[in-house]
Each structure stands twice: as structure tokens, then as C-alpha cells.
């Protein structure tokens, strides 16, 4: 757990404030499905799935990444990166920051939050 949190902090420092600005990497689209709001982001070619999830959540909440709860409390970061990087057809879904977060192997991040 400590190693994953350290990895996350190092990753955030490497990416810096840019991780907070989703529009620097990709467009966000939002749709409403019943009582849910669904946000879709594309990860950048030079970021890990973990970094993309944090960037998406930080942008969605207009927060700095360091102000979010540790992603490692929701899912092992190294496992997320390893699983998602195995292929385009991989999908990993978990709960983070009160949302259902799905990471697709093709780089799409989907964050579903209750309306």
C-alpha cells in the first residue's frame, strides 16, 4: 500500500499541474442517463491508466490531484496499470470518490456519478 501511494505521488509530481487540466489532453463528454451523469475522458499517450483516472477525477471536481483521496485505497495502482496495459479489450471497473469508474484498454476513462 505504501509503495503504491509513493508511486502515485511520484507520478503526480512528474505530471504536475497539467494533470488537473483535462482539456490539455482530451475532450470530456458528459451525458445524462436517468439519474446518472456519465463523463468520458481519453487518456493521453504518455500517461498511465492511474494518472488518467486521477486527471479525470481532478478535472471533474475542479480539484488538485493531491486533494483527492488516495486511488490506492480503491484499487492497487500497479495492478490497474498492468491489467489495462494488456490490451484494448480489457475493462476494469471500481468505485472511487463515490463514483463508478471504468478504465478501458483503449484509453477511455468513464466516470459515472449519481445525479
> How does pLDDT run across 37-72, given as a tens digit for each residue?
788 888 888 889 999 999 899 988 889 999 999 999
pTM given for the model: 0.71
Instruction: Give the integer Cα–Cα distance in Å for 38 and 102.
Output: 11
Listed by start position, the domains of the chain span 2-114
> How does pLDDT run across 9-32, given as a tens digit for each residue?
333 333 333 333 344 444 455 555
Amino acid at each position: 500500500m505504501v509503495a503504491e501511494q509513493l508511486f502515485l505521488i511520484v507520478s503526480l509530481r512528474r505530471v504536475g499541474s497539467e494533470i488537473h487540466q483535462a482539456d490539455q489532453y482530451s475532450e470530456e463528454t458528459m451525458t445524462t442517463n436517468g439519474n446518472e451523469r456519465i463523463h468520458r475522458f481519453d487518456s493521453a499517450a504518455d500517461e498511465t491508466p492511474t494518472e488518467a483516472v486521477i486527471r479525470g477525477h481532478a478535472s471533474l471536481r475542479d480539484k488538485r490531484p493531491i486533494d483527492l483521496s488516495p486511488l490506492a485505497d480503491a484499487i492497487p495502482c500497479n495492478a490497474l496499470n498492468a491489467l489495462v496495459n494488456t490490451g484494448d479489450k480489457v475493462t476494469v471497473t471500481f468505485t472511487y470518490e463515490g463514483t463508478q469508474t471504468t478504465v478501458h484498454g483503449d484509453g477511455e476513462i468513464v466516470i459515472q456519478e449519481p445525479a
